[in-house]
Structure 1
Amino acid sequence: MTGTTGPLIFDGHNDVLLKLRGSGGRAALKLFHEGRDGHIDLPRAKTGGFGGGFFAIFVPSPADLASMKAEMEQPEYDLPLPDPIPQAEALPVVMEMAALLMQLEAEGALRICCSVSDIRKAMAQGVLAAVMHIEGAEAIDPEFHALDVLYAAGLRSLGPVWSRPTIWGEGVPFRFPSTGDIGGGLTKDGKRLVKRCDEMGIMIDLSHLNEKGFWDVAEVSTKPLVATHSNAHALSSHARNLTDAQLDAIGQSGGMVGLNFAAGFLRSDGQMRPDVPISVMLDHIDYMIGRVGEDHVGLGSDFDGAVIPEGIKDLTGLPNLIAAMRERGYSEQLIAKLAHQNWMRVLETTWGG
């Protein structure tokens, strides 16, 4: 993982597994090794100093993505929550994507990590460190049988919802301008899921929960509050972003927020357009550090799942972000915290090692 003069990046969220699934079978593995259209692959990782991160398993909703993107380029928008996906439909997709991650590991492309020591070792050896994450827990049954199996396969991070309802709770819609104070929070089963994950050492991701769900997790969980890919609502009043009160709670819990690179969650106008200066990304980092402290902010790019600022574009643009941090006067110590050290701290607390 050479090619930059900065610290290795450990990132809070990417959707490369979903994109590779669309490529199919052996072709997907070859593309990851040799290079592909998109944001993440091994050649880009070496160029950009990408050491690893959370690899999301996500069950897509049937949707016209082009029309959704066009809608989110308007001054105001309110995309309805997609319909729930039954567990019987979600489970095969999740198993397929978990198997894809395991195949990438078997071919030496990455290493599935279940502890902070695993992550540090992989990064030191120049191997991508992958945390198996589920974004939206439709595949998990109320008896937690699937959860137990996925944990054995390496699952260590879970978001109870994406932006659609599940049996566990309600997601926040893609709405601008808006707060996330929309609808109900966790169900009784959702609170059971949070408690079970706490017991197992599976990190709960708050990024797609609505505000009521956020506060439900804060009440039920004994672990640090973590939003893997979210930004400051004070700078971009999107429903997906975190209010000052939420940011304060994250900091007080010893938790973590990962800067989401998605253009619409960065821009003050909420539009999913890539002409976003890197300085705006740093504005969000500065603001969130001001609320939660410099030990509680990192990166959560949403690579391969969002419209990324043109100054970043993909993994190869990460050195541009590090350079901009230096130009703004960030110390090397702070840059290292933002790049990966803060993620190591919160994961060590959550996982217990």
Structure 2
Amino acid sequence: MRLPLEELRARERQGQVKNTCMVTFPELRRGNVAIVGGSLFVEPAHSPWLAAGEGYHNAEEAYLQARTQLETYRRWSDEGELRFLRTLADLDATLSAWETSPGAIGLFLVLEGAAPIRSPAEVGWWAEQGARGVGLTWAAGTPYAGGNAAPGPLTDEGRALLREMAALNLLLDISHLWEAAAYDALERYPGPVAATHANPRALREGARQLPDRLIQQLAERDGVIGVIPFNMMLSESWRRDDPRLPLPRVIEAIDHVCQVTGSARYVGLGTDADGGMGLEAAPLGLDSAADWGKIAALLRERGYAEADIAAILHDNWLRLMRTVLTNF
């Protein structure tokens, strides 16, 4: 994460890494990215998409693997690369410091799937460690709910977890929830909500995408949808060997959310760039994390006002983070 991008990519080529890295600390700073949403993400051993060398077989293994990731974030924080956004004061201090020069990057930590939470009551421990959001499931499902690749309802354990989360005012992330479970969770959960990385189903069919009704319900709750600049999430026909999609396709996804909700207040970027998709699957024009700002010029060409562009690129997420952090 600290190496210059080209040096890191050269090392990747030597190791025959499949997905070319886009995110490093230097590239985030070069792109003036002061705040990121970082994930704790573990995969079940049976996952057909297994990105890590080893998946989990049970809740204890999921917990231990997520703990290892947490320790990595802590080490980077201790070394001055990151600052955990635990409180409003942390958020304000990070933004204030960046007005002078790029420094420690603010980390809003979310569990991408609740598999590491061994029981609903344990979510409080994760909040003590700095987590400020939870997705009940990843694609493959958890004991708490069905996922987009594993149909299933919100379970009794899932409802219990939502109650524990609500007491802490944690962010509920519905990105990977099975659709019926997502509606159920939104109806039951009184706290802040988002789909941190999800695209409209209008652009690409599939259970992983958000139907317009779900987009509307998120907006009614003042939530945010993080549009993913990921070719496979922007086109049903795109395959990894195909040419990269044009960057304006991302604007189509953003614009669709704006049209459905009637406002630019409910959409942001949810790059999923820490999810292993790699440069090969990013739209043409995005070479690294430093390039996300290019989306501003394309929004301008579409006629978006400067205030709306600012909302999409950062203000909407900052508003939601403040809502979450108010209680900490």
Normalised-by-shorter TM-score class: 0.7 to 0.9
Does residue 1:101 correspond to 2:73, yes or no?
yes
1:123 to 86, 95, 99: 95
1:275 to 222, 238, 244: 244
Tell me the TM-score normalised to structure 2 length. 0.85
1:301 to 256, 259, 271: 271
**Pairing 1:26-45 to 2, within 5 Å after superposition:** 31-32=1-2, 34-35=4-5, 36-37=8-9, 38-45=21-28
How large is the Cα RMSD of the aligned pairs? Answer: 2.2
Alpha-carbon contact 2:120-2:164 (below 8 Å) kept = no
Amino acid across the alignment from 1:325: L
Distance 2:212 2:120 in 1: 36
Does residue 1:56 correspond to 2:39, yes or no?
yes
Alpha-carbon contact 2:120-2:160 (below 8 Å) kept = no
Does residue 1:194 correspond to 2:200, yes or no?
no
Q: Structure 1 stretch 115-124 or stretch 298-307: which is displaced more?
A: 115-124
Alpha-carbon contact 1:172-1:210 (below 8 Å) kept = yes
Q: Deviation string for 1:8-57 (max 9, x for gaps)?
A: xxxxxxxxxxxxxxxxxxxxxxx436543412112101221211211111
C-alpha displacement of 1:135: 0.8
Alpha-carbon contact 1:135-1:162 (below 8 Å) kept = yes
Alpha-carbon contact 2:229-2:283 (below 8 Å) kept = yes
Q: Which residue of 1 aligns with 2:226?
A: 258
1:158 is paired with a residue whose SS is strand
Does residue 1:133 correspond to 2:147, yes or no?
no
**Pairing 1:314-329 to 2, within 5 Å after superposition:** 314-329=288-303
Alpha-carbon contact 1:45-1:315 (below 8 Å) kept = yes
Q: Which residue of 1 aligns with 2:254?
A: 285
Amino acid across the alignment from 2:111: I
Does residue 1:336 correspond to 2:315, yes or no?
no
Distance 2:260 2:57 in 1: 36
Q: Deviation string for 1:96-123 (max 9, x for gaps)?
A: 1011101100000010002344223213
Tell me the TM-score normalised to structure 1 length. 0.79
2:309 is paired with a residue whose SS is helix
Q: Structure 1 stretch 41-50 or stretch 343-352: which is displaced more?
A: 343-352
Q: What are the ranges of 5 or more consecutive residues in structure 1 without an aligned counterpart?
A: 1-30, 69-82, 174-181
Distance 1:143 1:265 in 2: 31
2:217 is paired with a residue whose SS is helix
Distance 2:226 2:57 in 1: 27
Q: Which residue of 2 aligns with 1:231?
A: 199
Q: Deviation string for 1:318-352 (max 9, x for gaps)?
A: 13222222222222111110111111212223343
Distance 1:58 1:135 in 2: 5
Q: Which residue of 2 aligns with 1:71?
A: none
C-alpha displacement of 1:241: 0.7
Does residue 1:88 correspond to 2:60, yes or no?
yes
**Pairing 1:172-183 to 2, within 5 Å after superposition:** 172-173=148-149, 183=151
Distance 2:243 2:315 in 1: 28
Q: Which residue of 2 aligns with 1:3?
A: none
When residues 300 and 116 of structure 1 are mapped into structure 2, their CA distance, relative to the original with a 3 A threshold, is farther
Alpha-carbon contact 1:55-1:133 (below 8 Å) kept = yes
C-alpha displacement of 1:314: 2.0
Distance 2:198 2:324 in 1: 19
Alpha-carbon contact 1:236-1:270 (below 8 Å) kept = no
Alpha-carbon contact 1:84-1:164 (below 8 Å) kept = no
Q: What are the ranges of 5 or more consecutive residues in structure 2 without an aligned counterpart?
A: 10-20, 99-103
2:129 to 153, 158, 162: 153
When residues 110 and 204 of structure 1 are mapped into structure 2, their CA distance, relative to the original with a 3 A threshold, is same
Q: State the number of aligned residues.
A: 299
2:252 is paired with a residue whose SS is helix
